[in-house]
C-alpha cells in the first residue's frame, strides 16, 4: 500500500501542473531568446558591405580605408581573410556577395575622389583568398558623373550584377570576369530624386538576385524598387505602398520576403504576385549612430544589420568599434509567440489527459488489491 500511495502522490494535480508550467515557461524563454548583437573591433575598418558565408558560418565585411575583406565570427572575433595590396591605395571595398556554388567572394571596388577613378569587380577564392580576377567596369556613353560601383549580387550561373549609384545603371560580370553594361533602362530615371539630403546623389544601390530569373534593386534618392529581368535587363517599377527613402542594402529570405535597410530603419517587404507589386508588411527603427548600411540573412533565416560607422570614416575620424545587430520584426514575433503558446497549450492538454489516465489506472489497481 505504501508503494501505491507513493505513486498516487505523483499524480497530485497541483504539483504536477506546477512542474509542467515551470518547464513550459523555460521552453518559451529559450525559444523566444533575445536578439544577438555582435560587437567587434578593428582599427579604422569602417565596413560598408556585409555578407554571410553559409559554409564558413561567419560574416564577411569590407572596408572604407583598407584593401581587405575580413571574417567576423559569431563571438565578434575578426580575422583578415583577404588582403590585396595590388589594389590602388585608398580604394574602398563596398558591396560583397558570396558565390557559394563557385566558392568565391565578390567585391565591388571603388576609388573616391581625389584619387584617379576606378570601379571594378574583384573575385577571390573564398578559402585561399587568391584573387581570381579584377574586372574594370566600363562607362556608359554620355556619362557625366563619376561612377560608383556600390552593391553586388550573384546568380546561380556565377554572373555578378553591380549597381552604379551615380549613373543609375547595372553592370554584369560573367563567371570569366568579362564586364559589360547590362541594364541602362530609362525606368531608372523616370522619378525625380529628393533634393537636399545626404543621399540625394545616390541612385541605384542595393541589389539581390531572386533565384527566379530576375533582380530586385532599390534606389536611394527616390525610394523606388525595380524588378530587372536577369536575361535581357528589362526593368519594371515595383509598385509599393510606400517609398523606401534612403534605401541602401537589400537581402532576400528563403520565403521570398525582401529586407531593405537604410541608415534609420529596416523594412520588411512582401509580394504575392512575383514582384509586380509589393507591400511594406512591417518596419523597425534603428539606432542611426552607427550608420547602418547593409543587411544579410544568416543562419536560421535571422536578419543582421551592419553598423559600420561609415560616415565617421568619410569625415576622416578614427574608430575601432563596430557592430552587427540582429533585427526582429514585431509582427512576426507576435505570430511566433502565438504559435508557441498554442504548442504549449496542446502539450498541457496532452499532459492533463495522461495524468487523468494514470489516475484511473491507479484507482483500478487499488480496487483490485482491496
| Domain identity same for 25 and 46 | no
- Range 197-202, long-range pairs (CB < 8 A, 24+ positions): 197/221, 197/246, 198/246, 199/246, 201/166, 202/148, 202/150, 202/165
| Domain identity same for 112 and 153 | yes
Residue with grid cell 574586372, as numbered in its chain: 135
| Domain identity same for 322 and 353 | no
Question: So what's the pLDDT on residue 353?
Answer: 66
| Domain identity same for 222 and 129 | yes
Return the CATH number at 104. 2.120.10.30
| Domain identity same for 203 and 279 | yes
Question: So what's the pLDDT on residue 114?
Answer: 84
What mean pLDDT is reported for the chain? 89
Q: What is the mean pLDDT of residues 267-273?
A: 97
SS (H, E, C) the chain: CHHHHHHHHHCCHHHHHHHHHHHHHHHHHHHHCCCCEEEEECCCCCCCCEEEECCCCEEEECECCCCEEEEECCCCCEEEEEECCCCCCCEEEEEEEEEHHHCEEEEEEEECCCCCCCEEEEEEECCCCCEEEEEECCCCCCCCCCCCEEEEEECCCCCEEEEECCCCEEEEECCCCCEEEEECCHHHHCCCCCCCCCCCCCCEEEEEECCCCEEEEEECCCCCEEEEECCCCCEEEEEECCCCCCCCCEEECCCCCEEEECCCEEEEEECCCCCCEEEEEEEEECCHHHCEEEEEECHHHCEEEEECCHHHHHCCCCCCEEEEEEECCHHHHHHHHHHHHHHHHHHHHHHHHHHHHHHHHHHHHHHHHC
Question: So what's the pLDDT on residue 143?
Answer: 85
Q: What pairs with residue 171 in β-bridges?
A: 162, 181
Q: At what angle do helices 13-32 and 330-369 cross, to 10 degrees?
A: 160
| Domain identity same for 89 and 229 | yes
Q: What is the mean pLDDT of residues 87-92?
A: 94
Question: So what's the pLDDT on residue 10?
Answer: 42
| Domain identity same for 78 and 199 | yes
Better-predicted residue by pLDDT, 165 or 353: 165
Per-residue confidence at 113, pLDDT binned at 50, 70, 90? Answer: confident
| Domain identity same for 112 and 190 | yes
**CA atoms within 13 Å, Cβ hemisphere of 122:** 29
| Residues 145-194 pLDDT 10s | 899 999 999 999 999 999 999 999 999 999 999 999 999 999 999 999 99
* Residue-range definition of the domain harbouring residue 126: 36-327
| Residues 9-33 pLDDT 10s | 444 545 555 545 555 444 544 445 6
| Domain identity same for 134 and 177 | yes
| Domain identity same for 341 and 195 | no
Question: So what's the pLDDT on residue 3?
Answer: 40
| Domain identity same for 271 and 357 | no
| Domain identity same for 110 and 249 | yes
* Residues of the chain above pLDDT 70, percent: 83
Per-residue confidence at 206, pLDDT binned at 50, 70, 90? Answer: very high
Question: So what's the pLDDT on residue 2?
Answer: 39
Per-residue confidence at 112, pLDDT binned at 50, 70, 90? Answer: confident
Q: Is the pLDDT of residue 5 over 60?
A: no
Q: What is the mean pLDDT of residues 34-48?
A: 96
Total structural domains within the chain: 2
| Residue 131 backbone class (left: φ over 0; alpha: ψ -120 to 50; beta: rest) | beta
Amino acid at each position: 500500500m505504501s508503494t501505491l500511495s507513493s505513486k498516487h502522490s505523483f499524480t497530485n494535480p497541483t504539483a504536477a501542473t506546477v512542474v509542467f508550467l515551470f518547464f513550459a515557461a523555460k521552453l518559451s524563454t529559450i525559444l523566444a531568446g533575445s536578439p544577438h548583437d555582435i560587437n567587434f573591433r578593428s582599427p579604422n575598418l569602417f565596413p560598408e558591405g556585409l555578407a554571410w558565408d553559409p559554409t564558413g558560418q561567419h560574416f564577411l565585411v569590407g572596408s572604407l580605408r583598407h584593401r581587405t575583406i575580413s571574417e567576423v565570427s559569431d563571438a565578434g572575433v575578426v580575422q583578415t581573410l583577404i588582403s590585396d595590396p595590388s589594389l590602388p591605395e585608398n580604394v574602398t571595398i563596398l558591396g560583397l556577395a558570396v558565390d557559394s556554388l563557385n566558392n568565391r567572394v565578390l567585391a565591388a571596388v571603388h576609388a573616391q575622389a581625389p584619387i584617379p577613378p576606378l570601379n571594378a569587380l574583384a573575385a577571390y577564392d573564398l578559402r585561399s583568398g587568391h584573387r581570381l580576377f579584377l574586372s574594370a567596369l566600363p562607362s556608359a556613353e554620355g556619362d557625366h558623373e563619376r561612377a560608383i560601383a556600390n552593391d553586388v549580387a550573384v546568380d546561380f550561373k556565377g554572373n555578378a550584377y553591380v549597381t552604379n549609384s551615380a549613373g543609375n545603371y547595372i553592370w554584369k560580370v560573367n563567371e570569366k570576369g568579362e564586364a559589360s553594361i547590362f541594364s541602362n533602362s530609362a525606368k531608372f530615371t523616370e522619378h525625380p530624386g529628393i533634393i537636399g539630403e545626404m543621399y540625394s546623389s545616390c541612385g541605384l544601390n542595393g541589389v539581390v538576385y531572386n533565384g527566379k530569373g530576375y533582380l530586385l534593386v532599390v534606389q536611394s534618392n527616390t525610394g523606388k524598387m525595380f524588378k530587372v529581368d536577369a536575361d535581357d535587363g528589362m526593368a519594371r517599377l515595383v509598385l509599393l505602398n510606400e517609398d523606401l527613402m534612403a534605401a541602401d542594402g537589400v537581402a532576400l529570405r528563403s520565403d521570398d520576403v525582401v529586407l531593405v535597410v537604410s541608415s534609420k530603419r529596416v523594412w520588411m517587404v512582401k509580394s504575392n504576385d512575383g514582384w509586380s507589386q509589393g507591400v511594406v508588411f512591417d518596419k523597425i527603427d534603428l539606432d542611426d549612430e552607427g550608420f547602418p548600411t547593409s543587411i544579410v540573412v544568416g543562419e536560421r533565416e535571422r536578419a543582421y544589420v551592419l553598423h559600420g560607422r561609415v560616415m565617421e570614416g568619410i569625415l576622416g575620424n578614427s574608430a575601432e568599434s563596430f557592430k552587427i545587430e540582429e533585427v526582429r520584426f514585431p509582427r512576426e514575433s507576435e505570430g511566433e509567440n502565438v504559435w508557441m503558446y498554442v504548442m504549449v497549450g496542446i502539450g498541457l492538454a496532452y499532459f492533463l489527459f495522461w495524468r487523468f489516465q494514470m489516475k484511473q489506472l491507479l484507482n483500478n489497481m487499488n480496487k483490485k488489491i482491496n
